[in-house]
């Protein structure tokens, strides 16, 4: 049995914290897509840890963590992260598995990412520059190298061949940054990677399913960043939605039970691209300040705005969301009034659907106002304690989406969560 936990917005919904909270209920936590563009924040004994490649179940003893086939893996980031986790007294090698089909991010992928972004001028994607796009392009272009290739005696030859091809591409961009330092780090890190448990991910996971083990598939990024259904071209390069679990782990759709969608009580986006409910005023600034909305991977300020139910409803539809977890509800504690986007006005006409190309049309978001709860909810433990205006805010969202909020996160710490 597989449950999926994924982001319903433009990423950074708080997936890491929620996976860490749910991990005790599962046997295996598996990442199925994305790469070190992800930054998943956890608090372990009050200490902040940001994970980019390792699944967020790693701090739980006896839980297995799989980096699945659909992931793109930067060995250098993985090695650094492994050292960080080890400093917490975790024996990473015991519980960390890597699928042999997982694609490798090479130093030249990072260089190509940078060169490509520079070439876009003012149409930049706002990429994290971790080499994600070029690594996935090599996968679909049938050029890339995979974790399993590390064990092949011809690995270096294959690497050099691909590097030469990348060099020609970099030359055409006029990009001539020196990447020799990255390469040195890369070759050191792949030696480390070889020392991990490299497995056939699809047999590994399906055998565990047959044994009756419970698996939590951990999404990265968010549904609106999905390469097919997000705000293309301002998206990432993988399928971030529930369908990506099947291709990213090699499991059949009927093995999936719950699809847990995570949303903030408001909305953020980092990088370029459409964001209809973005606030360019003091309220947006206040959300950023109270919510500490700065990227976990790049430190960039996140764009902030009200919750967008049109986009959320779309995300629930394409993912088949069965329950919603609402995070950062505490960030709204001090606001007198809250707004919820209930429709878009496009060319004067109101609609409740996401336009094909959000960036090409003028969207005027229509809002419904709610009274703020003006109460500190951060120490609350049960739903009965929650203020009435907050119950009304959530009840409206439940009705609009046709899916209920099952948990409300009221602070960054592991224990700050309330069953709705
Ligand atoms: P992810 O990428 O979806 O895992 O999310 P990030 O870790 O990038 O960003 C979420 C941020 O919000 C992190 O700094 C978390 O520590 C923090 N966070 C998560 N849940 C809550 C919450 O309920 N309240 C508050 N105040 N912060 C939260
Ligand atoms: P987590 O898992 C938020 C955004 C980037 C950029 C676009 C493409 O922490 O939620 P890429 O590096 O993939 O080429 O960037 O996607 N992006 C994210 N935004 N959270 C993430 O991950 C993101 N991963 C990528 O900012 O706009
Ligand atoms: Mg993040």
CA distances in angstroms from 20 to 61, 82, 206, 241, 406, listed in the order given: 12, 17, 23, 20, 16
Ligand nearest to the CA of 38: 2
For residue 313, name the pLDDT band (cuts at 50, 70, 90).
very high
- Determine the pLDDT at residue 298: 83
Give exposure, 106-122, as e/b (b: 16+ Cβ within 10 Å).
bbbbbbbbbbbbeeeee
From CA 315, how far away is CA 304, in angstroms rounded? 19
- Determine the pLDDT at residue 359: 87
- Determine the pLDDT at residue 297: 79
- Is the minimum distance from the CB of 274 to ligand 2 under 6 angstroms? no
Average pLDDT over residues 337-365: 95
**Ligand 1 center from residue 348 Cα (angstroms):** 36
- Determine the pLDDT at residue 331: 98
Where in 54-167 does DSSP place strands (E)?
64-67, 72-73, 96-99, 103-104
From CA 123, how far away is CA 165, in angstroms rounded? 26
Q: What domains appear along the chain, each with residue ranges and CATH number?
A: 2-102+198-260 (3.40.440.10), 103-193 (1.10.300.10), 263-419 (3.90.170.10)
pTM of the model as a whole = 0.97
From CA 260, how far away is CA 390, in angstroms rounded? 21
From CA 376, how far away is CA 355, in angstroms rounded? 37
For residue 31, name the pLDDT band (cuts at 50, 70, 90).
very high
Q: Mark whether 12 is an active-site residue.
A: yes
- Determine the pLDDT at residue 92: 84
103-151 pLDDT, tens per residue?
Answer: 999 999 999 999 999 999 989 999 999 999 999 999 999 999 999 999 9
Exactly one of 3, 12, 74, 313 is catalytic; name it: 12
- Determine the pLDDT at residue 406: 98
Ligand 1 atom nearest the C-alpha of 290 is 26
From CA 407, how far away is CA 391, in angstroms rounded? 12
% of the chain with per-residue pLDDT over 90: 95
Alpha helices in 328-417 (DSSP H): 388-401
From CA 186, how far away is CA 207, in angstroms rounded? 32
Task: Note whether 329 and 405 are within 8 A (CB).
Answer: no
- Determine the pLDDT at residue 161: 97
**Ligand 3 center from residue 161 Cα (angstroms):** 34
From CA 363, how far away is CA 340, in angstroms rounded? 15
Q: Whose CA is nearest to atom 23 of ligand 2?
A: 221
- Determine the pLDDT at residue 272: 95
**Ligand 3 center from residue 319 Cα (angstroms):** 19
- Is the minimum distance from the CB of 31 to ligand 1 under 6 angstroms? no
Average pLDDT over residues 168-180: 93
Task: Note whether 159 and 106 are within 8 A (CB).
Answer: yes
Q: Mark whether 109 is an active-site residue.
A: no
Q: What's the mean per-residue pLDDT of the chain?
A: 97
């Amino acid at each position: 049995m597989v449950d999926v936990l994924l982001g319903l917005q433009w990423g950074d919904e708080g997936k890491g914290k929620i996976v860490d909270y749910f991990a005790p209920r599962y046997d295996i936590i598996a990442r199925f897509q994305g790469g070190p563009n992800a930054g998943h924040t956890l608090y372990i004994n009050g200490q902040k840890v940001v994970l980019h490649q390792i699944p967020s179940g790693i701090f739980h003893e006896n839980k297995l963590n799989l980096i699945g086939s659909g992931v793109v893996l930067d060995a250098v980031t993985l090695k650094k992260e492994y050292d960080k986790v080890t400093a917490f007294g975790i024996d990473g090698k015991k519980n960390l598995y890597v699928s042999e089909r997982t694609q490798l991010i090479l130093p030249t992928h990072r260089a190509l990412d940078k060169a490509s972004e520079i070439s876009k001028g003012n149409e930049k994607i706002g990429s994290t520059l971790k080499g994600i796009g070029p690594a996935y392009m090599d996968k679909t272009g049938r050029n890339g190298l995979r974790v399993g290739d590390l064990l092949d005696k011809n690995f270096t030859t294959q690497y050099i061949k691909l590097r030469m091809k990348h060099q020609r591409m970099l030359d055409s961009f006029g990009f001539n940054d020196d990447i020799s330092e990255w390469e040195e780090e890369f070759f050191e890190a792949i030696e480390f990677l070889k020392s991990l448990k490299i497995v056939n991910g699809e047999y590994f996971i399906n055998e565990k399913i047959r044994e009756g083990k419970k698996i939590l598939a951990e999404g990265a990024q968010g549904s609106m960043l999905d390469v097919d259904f997000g705000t293309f071209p301002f998206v990432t390069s993988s399928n971030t939605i529930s369908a990506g679990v099947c291709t990213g782990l090699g499991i059949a759709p009927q093995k999936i039970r719950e699809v847990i969608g995570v949303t903030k009580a408001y909305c953020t986006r980092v990088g370029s691209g459409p964001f209809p409910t973005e606030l360019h005023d003091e309220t947006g600034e206040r959300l950023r300040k109270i919510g500490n909305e700065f990227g976990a991977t790049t430190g960039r300020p996140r764009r902030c705005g009200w919750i967008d139910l049109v986009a959320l409803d779309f995300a629930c539809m394409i993912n088949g969301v069965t329950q919603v977890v609402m995070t950062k509800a505490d960030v709204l504690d001090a606001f007198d009034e809250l707004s919820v986007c209930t429709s878009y006005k496009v060319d004067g006409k109101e609609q409740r659907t996401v336009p094909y190309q959000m960036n090409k049309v003028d969207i005027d978001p229509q809002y419904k106002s709610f009274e703020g709860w003006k109460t500190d909810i951060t120490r609350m433990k049960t739903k009965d304690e929650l203020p009435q205006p907050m119950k009304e805010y959530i009840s409206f969202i439940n009705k609009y989406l046709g899916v209920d909020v099952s948990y409300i996160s009221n602070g960054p710490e592991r224990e700050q969560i309330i069953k709705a």
